[in-house]
Structure 1
Amino acid sequence: MHRSYQPLKPVTNRYLQQRWDQNNYENHRRKVNSALPVVDNKGARTPAHVQLKLKKLQLQDERLSIIDRDNRLLASRLANIVCSRGLVDHHNQYHLRSLNADRRREELLLVGRQNQAIYQRIMSRQSEYRRQLWLDDWQRAERRRDDISRYPRGLTEKQRSHRKVKFAAVEDSERSTSCSKTDTDRSDRET
């Protein structure tokens, strides 16, 4: 093997030179493998407070505690429902009350007073219409109409019969007699 090795420089013993060169090469490879970079090319280390995020953990704990509290309340309510044999409290003990009721009442009173004042003004005024003249004119017109008409007006009202017809459910015999009476009444009227 040493016979095939060709060193770069002339040497007296090729075998020893090969061993020295091999040893130097292995030392060099070891140093290359264990060498550290001169330039720090690693990323910046994230701070512990950013990695851990304590605020997020705190909010999560608070949310879980609220959920646990709500679950306990629901469980106690369900237990009360089971123990109460299904009775439901559906009566509201509060009365609805408007926050604007006082103002609306004052406005209503104000409108009522204004309406009363308008009514008093209207009632205190004398009428501009001459009602008595109108009544006299109407009576004159009625007298003329009665004088002109062929048949007097009050006569037809006196001639009407004041019989009342019963429409209640009656027996068949009464129904037949009432039918015959209405037929005779019609024949009397026609004559």
Structure 2
Amino acid sequence: MTLIVGLGNPTQTYANTRHNIGFMVIDALVGDHAVTSVSKPQFKGELFKSSQTLFLKPHTYMNLSGESVRAVCDYFKPDLVVVIHDDLDLDLGVVRFKTGGGHGGHNGLKSIDQHIGSAYFRMRLGIGKPAQKSAVVSYVLQGFKAEELPCLKQVISHGASAMVALQKSSPEEVTAAFTCKKGVCAP
């Protein structure tokens, strides 16, 4: 069984923010699959199941995402955990993958690392970075600009396609086939 986790913050306030790009990919996946909702309070999030794949949107807010991931892992014992998250160090449209590594200051990853370790597979979705380093918090919690929306749509579709491919192949094959160093929106 594979657990695919999209990181974000719950409530409509954060729905279309940069920090919620992981939730956006999960929404696309759930919308394209025949899924059933798996509701247990200890999961602290929205969990959907399709055959041998679980899709999770933690509702603990970003900084406590590991609590939700740990609860689902303890219950289902997945063979593979995939975390889809925003990455400030990559431009919008850039998609990269890796297994393990540090959290790079990302509080959602930091929480997951504390609860299940860092040896999970990651899809890193670039969101760009603010002009001033001191503006990071406000930047990740703001919506995408109107001119970024066509690229965002392509990134979400690309990310969802990568996760569909992962259900039939290995993380290494997905990394080779779906990594976009120049961005999915590059000419």
* TM norm structure 1: 0.14
Q: Of Structure 1 and Structure 2, which has the larger fraction of its residues in helix?
A: 1
Higher RCO, Cα 8 Å, sep 6+ = 2
Q: Greater CA radius of gyration, 1 or 2?
A: 1
Which has a greater percent of strand? 2
TM-score by length of 2: 0.15
